[in-house]
Amino acid sequence: MKIIEVKSPELMREFIVLAKKIYKGYPNWIRPLDKDIEQVFDKNKNKAYRHGESVQWLLKDDSGTAIGRIAAFYNKKTANRDNKQPTGGLGFFECIDDQNAANILFDTAKEWLAGKGMEAMDGPVNFGERDRWWGLLIDGFDREPNYLCNYHPEYYLKLFENYGFKLYFKQFTFERPVQLEITEKMRAKAERVAKYSDIRFEHCVHLNKMGEYTELFKDAYNKAWGPIKGVSELSSGQAKAIMKSIKPILDRRLLWFGFKGGEVISFFIMLPEMNQIFKHLDGQFGLLAKLKLLYYKTFVKNPKLTGLIFGVIPEYQGKGVEAAMVAAAAKIVQHELSYETLEMNWIGDWNPKMLRVCELVDGTVVKTHGTYRYLFDRTAPFERYPIMGEKKDKNNN
């Protein structure tokens, strides 16, 4: 077997299309759009390159056939953030069911990261934000992946664990039928908020006012998510980029905000689940693929919604605002739209507040991903990702 660094467009093409070979015979796998993978490794499009580096490799067998791939990367801004050691990442891992092949890929990533001063590596993760390509699928293989989410063969787990990776945290995907009535507990919380406060909830009135909604989203997101470990605050530019990217597929009735007086205190953004369309494009996004996209978007019913992001600013968490906002959105979505299911991605096992919200709305876990960590010093004690809000003892444990 031979490891080859990807240094040419031809090798990058081979890197991308290898997945088609690995997932042959996996009916629930949906090929990612090629452009979405390419952009991760484009220095002009991925801002993570401002503070870091990435290298990609292909593994070939003795006949020259590609049998595995991996990328390694680090970001100087985040390598030491909330970690006891500088930590890099690996991702975009694909491999045949062969432990020796997997070990060569993992060793290559580890040695490169160690040479850059890293002392641990997380994987499989993204070279960038956590909202995409994050985590190893460890349960829910009978389900199709949502857009920008990983799907993996079951045997990948043993490849990671046999090498020495340990589970750092889990990420759950919850599902609920859209037409399922809200629980009595949620209804009571929502009615209490409506009766005893001047909190109100409203959806986007007109998409031409996206500039205003972008600022509301940025302000509420930074207050709700900014204090959380591993999450970076959004700049105005980043918020604009997010809203610009979702505007073509956004239904105004799926963009919700909560207000207390004139202050935005919560937000809930849902989107049509785009992999239900992209699965027909075979990774392509040229003119023909865009015409297919238009056809499926216009004439074919999309049964699935995905919860893009949800948040309540700290002062109003646990006061019924979560339930009231979901109840307000449900009233519109159930009666005016035709979606069948809602999936809520990326709910960390370390986030008890969001887990409670998902349970409150009668969500059921249908997929589980795991983020794994490998410490280069094999004698160093391993610690799981801390539970949000858990107080440490006097010894900082």
Q: Which CATH number characterizes residue 126's domain?
A: 3.40.630.30
Q: Which two tokens stand for residue 218?
A: 């940025």
What's the average model confidence in pLDDT over 131-138?
97
CB atoms < 10 A from the CB of 351, how many? Answer: 19
Summarize the confidence of residues 290-311 as an average pLDDT: 92
What pLDDT score was predicted for residue 202? 94
Distances (CA, A) of 247 to 155, 209, 240: 38, 11, 10
pLDDT reading at 307 higher than 60? yes
| Residue that has been written with the tokens 């207050």 in this structure | 223
Please report whether residue 387 resides in a domain: no
In three-state secondary structure terms, 382 is coil
Task: Residue count of the chain, please give it.
Answer: 397
What pLDDT, in 10s, does the model give residues 354-367? Answer: 999 899 889 999 99
For residue 248, is the peptide bond before it cis, meaning its omega torsion is within 30 degrees of 0? no
Is pLDDT above 50 for 396?
no
Q: In the listed set 168, 198, 219, which residue is the last one of a domain according to the structure?
A: 168
> Using 50, 70 and 90 to split pLDDT, how confident is the model at 127?
very high
Beta-carbon neighbour count of residue 62 at 10 Å? 7
- Please tell me whether residues 151 and 209 are part of one structural domain: no
Q: Please indicate, yes or no, whether residues 21 and 116 belong to a single structural domain of this protein.
A: yes
Domain membership flag for residue 361: no
Domain total for the chain? 2
CA distance 305 to 272: 5
Residue 391 clears pLDDT 70, i.e. is over it: no
CA-based R_g, the chain, Å: 22
Q: Which of 90-94, 162-166, 185-189, 377-381 has the lowest mean pLDDT?
A: 185-189
Tokens (6 digits) for 366? 């249908």
Residue 249 and residue 100 share a domain: no
301 pLDDT band (50/70/90 cuts)?
A: very high
Query: What pLDDT digit, counting tens, does each position of 246-256 carry?
Result: 988 889 999 99
In the chain, the percentage of residues whose pLDDT exceeds 90 is 82
User: Quick one: average pLDDT of 76-97?
Assistant: 95
The pair of three-digit structure tokens given for residue 277, joined into one six-digit string:
């369309």
Verify that 117 and 223 share a domain, yes or no.
no
CA 300/CA 174 separation, integer angstroms = 25
Same domain (yes/no): 243, 275: yes
Whole-number pLDDT of residue 392:
47
In angstroms, the CA 225 to CA 116 distance is 30
pLDDT of residue 279 exceeding 90, the answer is yes
Q: Residue 82: its pLDDT value, please? A: 84
| CA angle centred on 48, ends 46 and 53, rounded to 5° | 105
- On the question of a cis peptide bond just before residue 27, with omega within 30 degrees of 0, the verdict is no
Asked, for residue 380, whether it belongs to a domain, the answer is no
In a domain, 48, yes or no: yes
pLDDT at position 153: 98
Cβ partners under 8 Å of residue 3, min gap 6: 57, 58, 59, 104, 105, 108
Quote the CA–CA distance of 381 and 387 in Å, as a whole number.
18
For 235, other C-beta atoms within 10 Å of its C-beta total 11
Residues 262 and 153 in one domain: no
Q: Is residue 393 very low, low, confident or very high in pLDDT (cuts 50, 70, 90)?
A: very low
**Same domain membership, residue 239 and residue 126:** no
**pLDDT category of residue 199 using cuts at 50, 70 and 90:** very high
Name the least confident of 191-195, 284-288, 391-395.
391-395
Contact 88, 118 (CB under 8 A): yes
pLDDT more than 70, % of the chain: 98
Tell whether pTM > 0.85. yes
Residue 137 and residue 245 in one domain: no
Q: What is the pLDDT of residues 164-197, one digit of tens each?
A: 999 999 999 999 999 999 888 889 999 999 887 8
Domain identity same for 115 and 6: yes
384 inside domain = no
**Residue 24 falls inside a structural domain:** yes
Q: Is 94 helix (H, G, I), strand (E, B) or coil?
A: strand
> Among 44-58, 69-83, 383-397, whose mean pLDDT is lowest?
383-397
In a shared domain, residues 90 and 137: yes
Work out the number of other CB atoms within 10 angstroms of the CB of residue 340: 12
Q: What is the pLDDT of residue 389?
A: 74
Residue 149 reports pLDDT greater than 60: yes
Q: Is residue 383 part of a domain?
A: no
Orientation angle between helical segments 184-196 and 321-336, nearest 10 degrees: 110
Residue with structure tokens 């006012």?
A: 209
Closest CA to 164 of 368, 375, 370: 375
Taking the alpha carbons of 358, 364, 366, 370 in that order, is the dihedral positive or negative? positive
Q: Of 396, 304, 374, 393, give the one whose Cα is nearest residue 107.
A: 374
How far, in Å, CA of 186 to CA of 321, rounded?
10
Residue 287 lies in a domain: yes
Q: Nearest-CA neighbor of 305 among 336, 282, 284?
A: 336
Residue tagged 């030491």 (tokens)? 80
- Structural domain harbouring 10: 2-168
**pLDDT tens digits, 97-112:** 999 999 999 999 999 9
Read off the pLDDT of each residue in 61-89 and give the average, rounded to a whole number. Answer: 96
